[in-house]
């Protein structure tokens, strides 16, 4: 990774891009065998090969791989030999892997041709810089300088990962629909020289590059977090970057941090939705202590398997995300405002509830009761104990609030009143609208066709199904919907039909799963956790 604190700001090129939804789906033909192929490709990624590649690149003999130095040239020869062995097609200058620039510097480029005649002319780029800072200088080292900076994480880790992606995709008998360009950038640590050079002199048509992934520092995964930057830079990116295949102990962190600190930037400046995959900074960053022993190799394996998964899906998608210029202005500071949860809802009946005073009393105590919409007194009096609401046994104020929020226009309450021989049944009218399944959501302009969950009522059908604030929904009953209103309309149709189970496709921290809303228990059985 390039230290952006030392970079000067350059104006970005402006990019014209149509703001339309990326409708993304897999080709249905041979979907099962494709799924098996993807699993087989992911399974070829091993910790042994990752650590072997990183060991070569971060060995002292390569002297920190400074661009243009003899160590840099040795690193280039190693990468080139791996590309030759994999049998991918050279995509540098005149039939070679190398694209030379600035004298001794060189990017190394290779392609895997696409299989779909209609899409093979388009490219998905996956790249990693292979240079580092050599012995370090005041300009690029956090010290001490004058010692070999091996750059095991920065970026032997990313190069090893992309080499393993090359091996995985060539090991299986399946060519994705679009062509894939594998890029090993040089001179990144000297202000992104290699990727900037390639954008000025692209070796495949720049306009044909539809998406790019930059892998820079994936060797220090902490708590299973793989950081994915740039999801705001293309419409619908997050739906495509999220996966159904993440291991249980890994998640994606879709950070809003996105800046001129690595090779995603020149491609983004050229209007390509360009994503930045990494595992974050650490105390050995740009120091001689960034060594192979400190790599989290199982974490690298998880990250690399994800890269195989996402590259194949990008290359196979019907449509790829359109560039979204506004994404560059969305800083991490904006995020809490855009993703803020909604406050609790106003009560739907003018009743003050409390837990029963005496230990043996059941249900919830009525402290005070007001009037309804028409100013008629509500059918409750102070001192009543509400013991059931519709069919559910009432056992807490939070649970009763939740039941009232999702009820339609009234509820039947069973009430113990002092002086009465038996519990009374009363109908409590409610104001306001029910919260359909017990959740609220809002649209996200960057993710057309998905909504962001802003509120989940405890004990509601949504809560029971496992929906949580911050989740994103992008399918209802297996179908996409256009926008937030589209989801609401479809849900109302389904709730009014005989359907008893409504599947929702939900993304949580990069993991896609399907949850099922059970409509048979709209008011729920008592939730023992409340």
Q: Give the interface with Zn ion as residue ranges (CB under 5 A).
A: 1, 154
Residue 530 neighbours by CB distance under 10 Å: 16
Shortest Cβ 98–Zn ion spacing (Å):
22
Nearer to Zn ion, 64 or 176 (CB): 64
Nearer to Zn ion, 185 or 323 (CB): 185
Task: Report the alpha-carbon distance of residue 386 to residue 425 in Å, rounded.
Answer: 10
Shortest Cβ 144–Zn ion spacing (Å):
17
Task: Report the alpha-carbon distance of residue 319 to residue 311 in Å, rounded.
Answer: 14
Nearer to Zn ion, 154 or 167 (CB): 154
Scored b (16 or more CB within 10 A) or e, 108-145 reads bbbbbebebeebbebbbbbbbbbbbbbbbeeebbbeeb
Shortest Cβ 202–Zn ion spacing (Å):
24
Task: Report the alpha-carbon distance of residue 89 to residue 182 in Å, rounded.
Answer: 10
Tell me the sheet residues that pair with 180: 112, 124
Shortest Cβ 7–Zn ion spacing (Å):
12
Please classify residue 358 by burial: count the beta carbons closer than 10 Å to its beta carbon, then call 0-12 exposed, 13-18 middle and 19+ buried. exposed
Nearer to Zn ion, 90 or 134 (CB): 134
Nearer to Zn ion, 5 or 29 (CB): 5
Nearer to Zn ion, 63 or 154 (CB): 154
Shortest Cβ 1–Zn ion spacing (Å):
4
Chain centroid to CA 478: how far?
Answer: 20
Task: Report the alpha-carbon distance of residue 266 to residue 227 in Å, rounded.
Answer: 20
Angle ∠(203,206,209) on CA atoms, nearest 5: 105
Shortest Cβ 309–Zn ion spacing (Å):
26
Helical (H) or strand (E) element with 332: none
Tokens of 320: 């790829």
- Rounded alpha-carbon distances, angstroms, from residue 115 to 112, 121, 166, 174, 437: 9, 10, 16, 9, 44
Three-state secondary structure call for residue 136 = coil
Nearer to Zn ion, 106 or 261 (CB): 261
Shortest Cβ 184–Zn ion spacing (Å):
15
Task: Report the alpha-carbon distance of residue 107 to residue 97 in Å, rounded.
Answer: 8
- Rounded alpha-carbon distances, angstroms, from residue 170 to 40, 42, 318: 11, 11, 22
Three-state secondary structure call for residue 81 = helix
Nearer to Zn ion, 154 or 507 (CB): 154
Nearer to Zn ion, 1 or 476 (CB): 1
Shortest Cβ 330–Zn ion spacing (Å):
24
Shortest Cβ 266–Zn ion spacing (Å):
16
Task: Report the alpha-carbon distance of residue 401 to residue 394 in Å, rounded.
Answer: 10
Nearer to Zn ion, 288 or 522 (CB): 288
Shortest Cβ 280–Zn ion spacing (Å):
13
Nearer to Zn ion, 156 or 387 (CB): 156
Shortest Cβ 526–Zn ion spacing (Å):
56
Cβ-proximal residues to 359 (8 Å cutoff; 6+ apart), any chain: none
Nearer to Zn ion, 1 or 386 (CB): 1
Nearer to Zn ion, 174 or 285 (CB): 285
What is the three-state SS of 448-489? Answer: CCCEEEEEECCCCHHHHHCCCCCCEEEEECCECCCCHHHHHH
Please classify residue 95 by burial: count the beta carbons closer than 10 Å to its beta carbon, then call 0-12 exposed, 13-18 middle and 19+ buried. exposed
Tell me the sheet residues that pair with 129: 185
Shortest Cβ 180–Zn ion spacing (Å):
25
Instruction: At 307, give phi and psi (nearest 5°).
Output: -65, -40
Shortest Cβ 301–Zn ion spacing (Å):
22
Identify the CA nearest to 173 among candidates 304, 49, 301, 36.
36
């Amino acid at each position: 990774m390039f230290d952006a604190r030392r970079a000067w700001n350059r104006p970005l090129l402006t990019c014209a891009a149509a703001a339309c939804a990326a409708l993304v789906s897999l080709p249905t033909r041979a979907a099962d065998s494709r799924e098996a192929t993807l699993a087989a490709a992911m399974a070829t990624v091993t910790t042994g090969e990752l650590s072997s590649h990183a060991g070569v690149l971060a060995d002292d003999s390569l002297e920190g791989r400074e661009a243009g130095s003899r160590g840099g040239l040795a690193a280039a020869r190693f990468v080139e030999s791996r590309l030759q062995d994999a049998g991918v097609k050279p995509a540098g200058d005149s039939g070679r892997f190398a694209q030379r620039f600035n004298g001794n510097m060189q990017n190394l480029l290779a392609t895997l041709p696409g299989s779909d005649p209609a899409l093979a002319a388009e490219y998905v780029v996956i790249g990693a810089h292979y240079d580092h800072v050599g012995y370090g200088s005041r300009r690029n080292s956090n010290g001490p300088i004058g010692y070999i900076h091996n750059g095991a994480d920065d970026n032997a880790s990313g190069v090893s990962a992309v080499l393993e992606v090359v091996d995985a995709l060539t090991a299986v008998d399946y060519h994705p629909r679009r062509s894939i360009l594998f890029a090993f950038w040089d001179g990144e640590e000297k202000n992104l020289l290699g990727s900037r050079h390639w954008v000025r002199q692209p070796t495949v048509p720049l306009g044909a590059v539809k998406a790019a992934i930059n892998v820079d520092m994936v060797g220090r995964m902490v708590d299973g977090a793989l950081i994915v930057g740039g999801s705001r830079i293309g419409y619908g990116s997050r739906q495509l970057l999220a996966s159904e295949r993440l291991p249980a102990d890994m998640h994606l962190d879709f950070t809003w941090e996105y800046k001129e600190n690595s090779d995603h930037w020149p491609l983004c400046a050229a209007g390509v939705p360009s994503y930045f995959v990494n595992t974050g900074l650490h105390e050995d960053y740009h120091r001689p202590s960034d060594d192979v022993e400190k790599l989290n190799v199982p974490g690298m394996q998880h990250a690399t398997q994800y890269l195989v998964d996402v590259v194949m899906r990008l290359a196979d998608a019907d449509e790829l995300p359109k560039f979204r210029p506004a994404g560059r202005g969305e800083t991490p500071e904006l995020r809490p405002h855009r993703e803020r949860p909604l406050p609790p809802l106003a009560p739907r009946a003018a009743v003050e509830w409390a837990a029963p005073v005496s230990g043996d009393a059941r249900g919830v105590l009525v402290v005070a009761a007001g009037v309804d919409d028409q100013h008629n007194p509500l059918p409750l009096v102070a001192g009543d104990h509400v013991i059931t609401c519709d069919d559910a046994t009432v056992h807490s104020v939070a649970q009763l609030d939740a039941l009232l929020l999702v009820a339609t226009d009234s509820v039947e309450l069973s009430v113990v009143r002092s002086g009465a021989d038996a519990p009374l049944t009363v109908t409590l009218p409610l104001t306001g609208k029910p919260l359909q399944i017990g959740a609220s959501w809002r649209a996200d302009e960057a993710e057309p066709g998905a909504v962001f969950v802003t509120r989940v009522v405890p004990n509601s059908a949504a809560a029971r199904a496992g929906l949580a604030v911050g989740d994103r929904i992008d399918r209802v009953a297996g179908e996409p919907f256009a926008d937030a209103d589209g989801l609401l309309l479809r849900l109302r149709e389904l709730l009014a039909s005989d359907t008893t189970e409504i599947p929702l496709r939900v993304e949580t921290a990069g993991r896609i799963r399907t949850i099922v809303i059970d409509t048979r228990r709209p008011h729920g059985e008592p939730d023992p956790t409340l």
